[in-house]
Amino acid sequence: MLVYIIDAFNLVHKVPELKNSQSPHIDLIRYIKKNKLTGSINNKVIVVFDGQSRPEVIGSEFEVFFSGYGTADDIIKKIVSNLKNKSETVVVSDDREIRDFVKIAGAKSCRIDNFIRLRIKVINKEKNEGNKKEIDSLLQREITEEMRKIWLKE
Protein backbone atom coordinates (compact mmCIF):
# COMPACT_ATOMS: atom_id res chain seq x y z
CA MET A 1 0.00 0.00 0.00
CA LEU A 2 1.34 3.39 -0.99
CA VAL A 3 0.66 6.56 0.95
CA TYR A 4 0.05 9.64 -1.19
CA ILE A 5 0.37 13.03 0.50
CA ILE A 6 -0.96 15.73 -1.78
CA ASP A 7 -0.13 19.43 -1.51
CA ALA A 8 -3.70 20.35 -2.38
CA PHE A 9 -3.51 23.87 -3.73
CA ASN A 10 -0.41 22.99 -5.79
CA LEU A 11 -2.65 20.49 -7.59
CA VAL A 12 -5.68 22.79 -7.79
CA HIS A 13 -3.65 25.47 -9.56
CA LYS A 14 -2.35 23.00 -12.19
CA VAL A 15 -5.71 21.52 -13.18
CA PRO A 16 -7.56 23.84 -15.60
CA GLU A 17 -11.06 22.70 -14.59
CA LEU A 18 -10.28 23.42 -10.91
CA LYS A 19 -8.70 26.88 -11.28
CA ASN A 20 -12.00 28.77 -11.22
CA SER A 21 -13.88 26.36 -8.96
CA GLN A 22 -16.30 27.80 -6.43
CA SER A 23 -15.48 24.92 -4.06
CA PRO A 24 -11.93 23.79 -4.89
CA HIS A 25 -11.71 21.63 -1.76
CA ILE A 26 -14.58 19.35 -2.79
CA ASP A 27 -13.83 19.53 -6.50
CA LEU A 28 -10.20 18.51 -5.94
CA ILE A 29 -11.22 15.40 -4.02
CA ARG A 30 -13.75 14.53 -6.74
CA TYR A 31 -11.11 15.07 -9.42
CA ILE A 32 -8.62 12.76 -7.69
CA LYS A 33 -11.26 10.04 -7.32
CA LYS A 34 -12.71 10.40 -10.82
CA ASN A 35 -9.29 10.19 -12.47
CA LYS A 36 -7.97 7.55 -10.07
CA LEU A 37 -4.84 9.65 -9.61
CA THR A 38 -3.70 7.63 -6.62
CA GLY A 39 -4.14 4.24 -8.25
CA SER A 40 -5.56 1.43 -6.16
CA ILE A 41 -8.34 2.12 -3.68
CA ASN A 42 -6.09 0.36 -1.17
CA ASN A 43 -3.61 3.23 -1.30
CA LYS A 44 -3.93 5.77 1.50
CA VAL A 45 -4.50 9.36 0.41
CA ILE A 46 -3.78 12.38 2.57
CA VAL A 47 -4.78 15.77 1.16
CA VAL A 48 -3.31 18.85 2.84
CA PHE A 49 -4.90 22.27 2.31
CA ASP A 50 -3.67 25.67 3.38
CA GLY A 51 -6.13 27.61 5.51
CA GLN A 52 -8.99 26.96 7.89
CA SER A 53 -10.98 23.75 8.13
CA ARG A 54 -13.87 23.31 5.72
CA PRO A 55 -16.67 21.12 7.13
CA GLU A 56 -17.92 20.12 3.67
CA VAL A 57 -14.71 18.17 3.07
CA ILE A 58 -14.76 16.23 6.33
CA GLY A 59 -16.00 12.67 5.91
CA SER A 60 -14.25 12.03 2.63
CA GLU A 61 -12.56 8.64 2.28
CA PHE A 62 -9.29 10.56 2.12
CA GLU A 63 -7.63 11.97 5.19
CA VAL A 64 -7.90 15.73 4.91
CA PHE A 65 -5.79 18.20 6.87
CA PHE A 66 -5.96 21.98 7.03
CA SER A 67 -2.99 24.11 8.03
CA GLY A 68 -5.01 26.60 10.08
CA TYR A 69 -2.76 29.61 10.54
CA GLY A 70 0.35 27.66 9.55
CA THR A 71 1.22 26.30 6.11
CA ALA A 72 0.40 23.11 4.29
CA ASP A 73 4.16 22.61 3.94
CA ASP A 74 4.55 22.45 7.73
CA ILE A 75 1.74 19.88 7.99
CA ILE A 76 3.23 17.77 5.18
CA LYS A 77 6.65 17.77 6.87
CA LYS A 78 5.09 16.73 10.17
CA ILE A 79 3.12 13.90 8.54
CA VAL A 80 6.18 12.61 6.67
CA SER A 81 8.29 12.76 9.82
CA ASN A 82 5.75 10.68 11.75
CA LEU A 83 5.24 7.98 9.11
CA LYS A 84 6.81 4.61 9.87
CA ASN A 85 7.18 3.32 6.30
CA LYS A 86 8.55 6.33 4.46
CA SER A 87 9.80 4.28 1.51
CA GLU A 88 6.18 3.67 0.47
CA THR A 89 5.23 7.33 0.70
CA VAL A 90 4.86 9.67 -2.28
CA VAL A 91 4.51 13.39 -1.64
CA VAL A 92 2.93 15.24 -4.56
CA SER A 93 4.10 18.85 -4.61
CA ASP A 94 5.88 21.39 -6.77
CA ASP A 95 7.44 23.01 -3.73
CA ARG A 96 11.19 22.42 -3.94
CA GLU A 97 11.71 22.73 -0.19
CA ILE A 98 9.11 20.01 0.42
CA ARG A 99 10.59 17.72 -2.23
CA ASP A 100 14.08 18.15 -0.72
CA PHE A 101 12.77 17.48 2.80
CA VAL A 102 10.92 14.38 1.62
CA LYS A 103 14.00 13.00 -0.12
CA ILE A 104 16.17 13.47 2.98
CA ALA A 105 13.45 11.82 5.11
CA GLY A 106 13.53 8.72 2.89
CA ALA A 107 10.22 9.16 1.09
CA LYS A 108 9.56 9.85 -2.61
CA SER A 109 8.27 13.00 -4.20
CA CYS A 110 6.50 13.69 -7.45
CA ARG A 111 5.90 16.95 -9.24
CA ILE A 112 2.27 17.82 -9.94
CA ASP A 113 2.59 17.66 -13.75
CA ASN A 114 4.21 14.23 -13.62
CA PHE A 115 1.60 12.98 -11.16
CA ILE A 116 -1.27 13.99 -13.41
CA ARG A 117 0.37 12.98 -16.69
CA LEU A 118 1.49 9.52 -15.52
CA ARG A 119 -1.87 8.58 -14.02
CA ILE A 120 -3.85 9.86 -17.01
CA LYS A 121 -1.52 7.85 -19.29
CA VAL A 122 -2.17 4.68 -17.23
CA ILE A 123 -5.92 5.28 -17.26
CA ASN A 124 -5.96 5.79 -21.04
CA LYS A 125 -3.92 2.62 -21.52
CA GLU A 126 -6.37 0.68 -19.33
CA LYS A 127 -9.29 2.08 -21.33
CA ASN A 128 -7.67 1.13 -24.63
CA GLU A 129 -6.95 -2.39 -23.41
CA GLY A 130 -10.58 -2.65 -22.34
CA ASN A 131 -11.68 -1.84 -25.90
CA LYS A 132 -9.94 -4.86 -27.40
CA LYS A 133 -12.45 -7.37 -28.62
CA GLU A 134 -12.21 -10.91 -27.41
CA ILE A 135 -12.97 -13.56 -30.01
CA ASP A 136 -13.86 -17.01 -28.83
CA SER A 137 -12.05 -20.01 -30.31
CA LEU A 138 -15.02 -21.14 -32.45
CA LEU A 139 -15.27 -17.75 -34.13
CA GLN A 140 -11.47 -17.70 -34.60
CA ARG A 141 -11.67 -21.02 -36.45
CA GLU A 142 -14.52 -19.76 -38.64
CA ILE A 143 -12.53 -16.65 -39.54
CA THR A 144 -9.45 -18.72 -40.27
CA GLU A 145 -11.44 -21.06 -42.55
CA GLU A 146 -13.03 -18.10 -44.32
CA MET A 147 -9.63 -16.46 -44.85
CA ARG A 148 -8.20 -19.77 -46.13
CA LYS A 149 -11.00 -19.95 -48.72
CA ILE A 150 -10.38 -16.37 -49.82
CA TRP A 151 -6.58 -16.45 -49.93
CA LEU A 152 -5.95 -20.03 -50.94
CA LYS A 153 -9.06 -20.25 -53.12
CA GLU A 154 -10.04 -23.55 -51.56
pLDDT (tens, 9 = 90+) of the chain, 154 residues, equals 899 999 999 999 988 888 888 888 889 998 888 888 888 888 999 999 999 887 766 666 789 999 999 999 999 999 999 999 899 999 999 999 999 999 999 999 999 988 888 766 655 665 665 555 566 666 666 667 767 766 776 6
Domains, the chain, ordered by start: 3-152 (3.40.50)
| Among the listed residues 21, 40, 154, the one whose alpha carbon sits nearest the alpha carbon of residue 31 | 21
Q: For residues 71 and 69, what is the distance between their CA atoms, to the nearest angstrom?
A: 7
| pTM, rounded to two decimals | 0.76
User: What is the full DSSP assignment across 129-140?
Assistant: HHTSPP--HHHH
